Structure 1
Amino acid sequence: MQLTQALQIKEDKINELEQRLINLDQERIKKLIDKEKELSEVKGELVNKLSGEDTKEIPKEKEAKQKELDELQQELSRTSASYDANRKKKVLNQVNKFLKAKGGFLTLREEAIKKLQNCLESFINKEGNTIGSTKDLKTSNLADKYTKEFQYILVKYNDGLLELNKNYYSLENIVQENKELEVSLMIENILQLNSFNLDKYKIFKFATNSQEGTRIQLNSNMMAEDINSLRKNLNELKLELEQEKKELRNLAAD
């Protein structure tokens, strides 16, 4: 827990420093643009004076101002490039956080499916060993017990959506803040941020027999159906994540 907190503090500090660099570049760009405008106006005034009298020194002054303007434009170009590079880095960092959260979510979903499968197998084994005149009652009691266990697992692992959702909104906000960057548009398309739907990650969207964890009793067939549905969804999400990572690797390399 302490290590996690320490890493989070370090990450927050890095993010803060990166944002300060972006802000400094932004402030410098504004000053350079103002200075560029000022020099352009002075240069224009000098050109107008060339048509008047006593213009001997004006060409030299004009040349000096042009040199100053050229140097300023070069600095403006460098600063703008730095500004865009730092913003792109910030966007890509948030993309990596989102992908990490998504990968972590899928790992938890896989863990949930394994536990659900173990629960089902235990239920089937115990059910198969039930004999005697009270078999129906014992089977019903077993169903009650394993239904509770099965649905407890579902409810517990459904909470994993919070971190994924938080990282999605953080990414969406950063992409919108930097929407004029080409990389933002490409990320928006690759990750389909505009059509992001949390429903396809919700455990009860696929474990439909469990009815949001409130069903009184499940039989083994119903449990198996829910597990198979969740496993199919997991495989689809894994393929989606791998495709996203592949496309984003190509993007980061550009």
Structure 2
Amino acid sequence: IQLTQALQIKNNKINELEKKLVTLDQERIKHLKDKEKELSNIEKELLNKLTSGENTKEIHKEKEAKQKEMNELQQELSRTSASYNVNRKKQVFNQVNNFLKVKGDFLTLREEAIKKLQNCCNHLESSINKERNTIGSIRDMKTSKFIDKYTREFQSILVKYNDGLLELNKNYYSLKKIVQDNKELEVSLIIENILKLNSFNLDKYKIFKFATNSQEGTRVQLNSNMMAEDIDSLRKNLSELKLELNQEKKELKNLATV
């Protein structure tokens, strides 16, 4: 855990430095463009002087100097713009990777939740089976008690593992924002399409959307069949989300190498 936290801190620092680079490039580009405009105006003035008859050696010399300065400035502007775009692209991919990591972590937790739900269901079945030979009224009372106990446990697992939605949603909006902020980059549109950012639906990650027998807030008794139905539904949903994530990673990996 400490190593993971240390790596996260390191990555956060790298991301912050990259953001600063983008800001510095942006400021430098603005400065260069202002200077370019200024030089352009000077060149126009010199040209006007030449066309109006002031065809002197000094004006020619100054014009050549300004042209040289303009060429150097445009080269620097080109280099800075290239650096700016590279760093912006890197920022976008950093946020993409954050989103994919959070999504992957979310699915890992969902898998963990399903295992715990299955254990809960198994314990309920096992407990009830042990009481099969007990006298009817006592058996019914004990069965009801077991169902109450494991229904509460089942519900609490579902509630606990539904909390990961907040982090996923937060990272989605962070990614959406940075893609929008850099929409003129070619990769932004491709990323938007691969991750379907405009049609992102949090519902397909909501645990109670699939655990319909155990809808949030209800405390009805759940027998093992009802639990099994919810578990199967969650497994199917998890499988679909895993396939989706793997496909997204594959397409984005290809994109990153372009």
Q: Same fold (TM over 0.5)?
A: yes
Q: Match for 2:197: what amino acid?
A: L
1:151-183, Cα deviation, whole Å (9 max, x unpaired): 111111111112211211211221222222222
SS state at 1:212 partner? coil
- Cα distance in 2 between the residues matched to 1:240 and 1:17: 32
Alignment of 1:1-254 (within 5 A): 6-57=6-57, 58-130=59-131, 131-133=133-135, 134-254=138-258
Whether the aligned pair in 2 keeps the contact of 1:204 and 1:211 (CA below 8 Å) is yes
Gaps of 5+ in 1: none
1:49-108, Cα deviation, whole Å (9 max, x unpaired): 222334131333322222211111111010001111111111100110000000000000
Whether the aligned pair in 2 keeps the contact of 1:43 and 1:62 (CA below 8 Å) is yes
Cα distance, 1:2 vs structure 2: 5.7
What is the RMSD of the two structures over their aligned residues, measured on CA atoms?
1.6
- Cα distance in 2 between the residues matched to 1:6 and 1:243: 29
1:197-246, Cα deviation, whole Å (9 max, x unpaired): 11110100000101215222001110010000000000000011011101
Q: TM-score, normalised by structure 2?
A: 0.93
Cα distance, 1:126 vs structure 2: 1.9
Q: TM-score, normalised by structure 1?
A: 0.94
Q: Match for 1:22: what amino acid?
A: V
- Identity among equivalent positions (%) equals 74
Whether the aligned pair in 1 keeps the contact of 2:15 and 2:94 (CA below 8 Å) is no
SS state at 1:50 partner? helix
1:5-59, Cα deviation, whole Å (9 max, x unpaired): 5444433322222121111111110111011111111112222222233413133
- Give aligned pairs, total: 254
1:135-155, Cα deviation, whole Å (9 max, x unpaired): 222221111111111111111
SS state at 1:180 partner? coil
- Cα distance in 2 between the residues matched to 1:121 and 1:8: 38
- Cα distance in 1 between the residues matched to 2:51 and 2:10: 63
- Cα distance in 2 between the residues matched to 1:71 and 1:251: 34
- Cα distance in 2 between the residues matched to 1:101 and 1:9: 16
Whether the aligned pair in 1 keeps the contact of 2:120 and 2:153 (CA below 8 Å) is yes
1:104-129, Cα deviation, whole Å (9 max, x unpaired): 00000001111111111121122222
Whether the aligned pair in 2 keeps the contact of 1:154 and 1:213 (CA below 8 Å) is no
Larger mean CA deviation between 159-168 and 58-67 belongs to: 58-67
- Cα distance in 1 between the residues matched to 2:257 and 2:183: 20
Gaps of 5+ in 2: none
Larger mean CA deviation between 44-53 and 79-88 belongs to: 44-53
